[in-house]
A and B are shown apart, each in its own frame.
Chain A
Amino acid sequence: GAVVSQHPSWVICKSGTSVKIECRSLDFQATTMFWYRQFPKQSLMLMATSNEGSKATYEQGVEKDKFLINHASLTLSTLTVTSAHPEDSSFYICSATTIEPRETQYFGPGTRLLVL
């Protein structure tokens, strides 16, 4: 299957700082990438849909000014958590969609964020 990478795999930061997470599709081009958040022992919650060359579409309740998404190329999307607070601590997962041979979402390994 297609490979999606995320960097960093884990990050610890102080409250008030900003953290950038990168999501890359390694062997395919993805016009659409997705960002999810997963709390312990819970399911994945879609935060936003990232489209190459256009503004991201955010799900209801997700602050677009706090979670900045940039999809600058067909293989890279970034999520920046601005002015992070302890409640932003979570597991963030990105995915990228292939169209051929069949539309399928492949997931990155996730980024564990801990805000102190």
Chain B
Amino acid sequence: AQTVTQSQPEMSVQEAETVTLSCTYDTSESNYYLFWYKQPPSRQMILVIRQEAYKQQNATENRFSVNFQKAAKSFSLKISDSQLGDTAMYFCAFGSQGNLIFGKGTKLSVKP
């Protein structure tokens, strides 16, 4: 069975600084996807970034980038130049054959 673990229930960062959110997963599959979703207080789930497991290059989306270590089954999210609007719950998710399995989330607070 696949599992996703986010070991940091809460984190905080000063505005404009960089923060890294951790995520590890366990699977025996070879083809899968990994995602980071953001859930602000509105509770709308927003896709932040995705990574295909077959790609060695780490995905980047503007201020968001990942460090994908396939052998270690690690998928961390780095947020650069943190903004107040980045305050939210962040969920790491494992995707295979259409289904998503979510971690328990990390509550990120960006402080002015």
B residues near A95, Cβ cutoff 8 Å: 45, 100
* Complex contact A104–B43 (CB within 8 A): no
Interface of B is mostly: strand
- Assess the A109–B43 pair: CB atoms within 8 A: yes
Do residues A46 and B100 form an inter-chain contact, with CB atoms below 8 A? yes
Closest to B91 in A: A43
Size bin of chain B's contact surface: 20 to 34
The answer on a CB contact under 8 Å between A49 and B99 is yes
Total of A-B residue pairs, C-beta within 8 Å: 50
Residues on A with C-beta less than 8 A from B42 are: 109
**A side interface size, CB within 8 A:** 21
On chain B, the residues within 8 Å of A106 by CB distance are 47
> Which parts of B46-99 form the interface with A (CB within 8 Å)?
46-47, 50, 52, 91, 95, 98-99
CA distance A95 to B90 in the complex (A): 17
Ordered by A's residue number, 8 sampled pairs between the chains whose C-beta atoms are within 8 Å are: A1-B47, A34-B99, A43-B103, A44-B45, A103-B98, A104-B35, A105-B100, A109-B44
Interface residues of B (CB under 8 A from A): 33, 35, 37, 42-47, 50, 52, 91, 95, 98-105
